[in-house]
Amino acid sequence: MITLKDVQNAKERIAPYIIRTPLLRVPALDDYLNCQVYLKPENLQYTGSFKLRGATNRMLVLSDEEKQNGVVCASSGNHAQGVACAAKRLGIKATIVMSKNCNPVKLENVKQFGADVVMVGNSSTEREEKSKEISQAEKRTEIHPFADDYIKAGQGTIALEILDDEPNMDKIVVPIGGGGLISGIAVAAKGIKPDITIIGAEPQSANRYSESLKVGKPVKVENVNTIADGTRTERANLGNLEIIKKYVDILTTVEDEEIRKAMKLIVEKAKIVAEPSSSLGVAAISKNSLDIKSDDKVCFVISGGNNDLKLLSEILANKI
């Protein structure tokens, strides 16, 4: 399990390569979410997503031989962009395995960073199997999107920045896909401020961690189908599950319709364009089913903004 020190080391390591995104106080959302709203807009990151943090941290610790052989990863999009961008900056060859049903904007961005792209299947399992196959055949280092400690530590740097900017933050709300983001944030935030509340939100149709907590072990969710494409991971990771058990105070799920409403609310009131996965936290609190007080300082991590523009336009126009 990673430690606060791991996250602090990651912060120093990746500082020259990332944007230190601002912490935005957004009073226009207070009445809608019944709290003092803060946003951490990782959609402003170089690649439009927090994933650049973890990918950069992992690739900066590669050996010279590993850098020479190159890297490979399996990703639905944002991790793919993070790896592709970091690889280009560090002069490392990268192959990215993406699903055939991936977000077209994310696919195009990966190609623009110069990575080789392999398209396979529509599930995370198929992507992961192909990535392992390429790793073994070409001796490339596999950069896992959420099961690697350096990845988690890199993502956790978000929490350090939040608490640097607002030491009295009461709660941090985090979207959950593979679980690497909330794992890093939870470890770092609790390490600095043990009484802070960490809330995780995942789609109802991709609720692998909610289901895993019920039975006490990682489970696989069949037929993952959600507009939150960044969360289409079928199986919970054991290491992340253990961190969630220890450090995450509340885990909740939301329906796709609630995600759509949250996306529109963020655009209308905060003037921020968040992708579906990034809107999970706002959607969760909008349900008014959690114990949030009006004077609570609550930070919502906007994990990315790489939208399928057709889908976004339909959501904003209330066509779906």
pTM > 0.85: yes
Based on the residue annotation, tell me whether 51 is a catalytic residue of this protein. yes
Write down the pLDDT at residue 308.
Answer: 86
Which pLDDT value is given to residue 178? 93
Whether 51 and 292 have beta carbons less than 8 Å apart is answered as no
Beta strand spans in 105-237 (E): 116-119, 141-142, 171-175, 197-203
What are the structural domain ranges in the chain? 4-46+148-316, 52-142
Domain 4-46+148-316 and domain 52-142 have a common topology = yes
Please give the pLDDT value at position 123.
80
The CA distance from 189 to 168, in Å, is 11
List the chain pLDDT tens, one digit each, 320 residues. 999 999 999 999 999 999 999 999 999 999 999 999 999 999 999 999 999 999 999 999 999 999 999 999 998 789 999 999 999 999 999 999 998 888 888 888 899 999 999 999 888 788 889 999 999 999 999 999 999 999 999 999 999 999 999 999 999 999 999 999 999 999 999 999 999 999 999 999 999 999 999 999 999 998 788 999 888 888 999 999 999 999 999 999 999 999 999 999 999 999 999 999 999 999 999 876 688 999 999 999 999 998 888 889 999 998 65
Candidate list 124, 135, 212, 303, residue with the active-site label: 303
| Domain 52-142 indexed as CATH 3.40.50.1100 | yes
Out of 51, 106, 130, 171, the active site residue is 51
State residue 280's pLDDT score. Answer: 96
- How does DSSP assign 43-101, residue by residue? GGSTTSBTHHHHHHHHHTT--HHHHHH-EEEE-SSHHHHHHHHHHHHHT--EEEEE-TT
Cα–Cα distance measured from residue 299 to residue 171, given in angstroms and rounded to the nearest whole number? 6
How many whole angstroms separate alpha carbon 260 and alpha carbon 162?
A: 26
pLDDT number for residue 258:
95
Task: Tell me the C-alpha distance between 280 and 284, whole Å.
Answer: 6
Query: Regarding the domain delimited by 4-46+148-316, which CATH topology (the fold level of the hierarchy) does it fall under?
Result: Rossmann fold (3.40.50)
Report the distance separating Cα 251 and Cα 270, nearest Å.
25
Q: How far from chain centre, in Å, is Cα 88?
A: 21
Task: Give yes or no: 310 in active site.
Answer: no
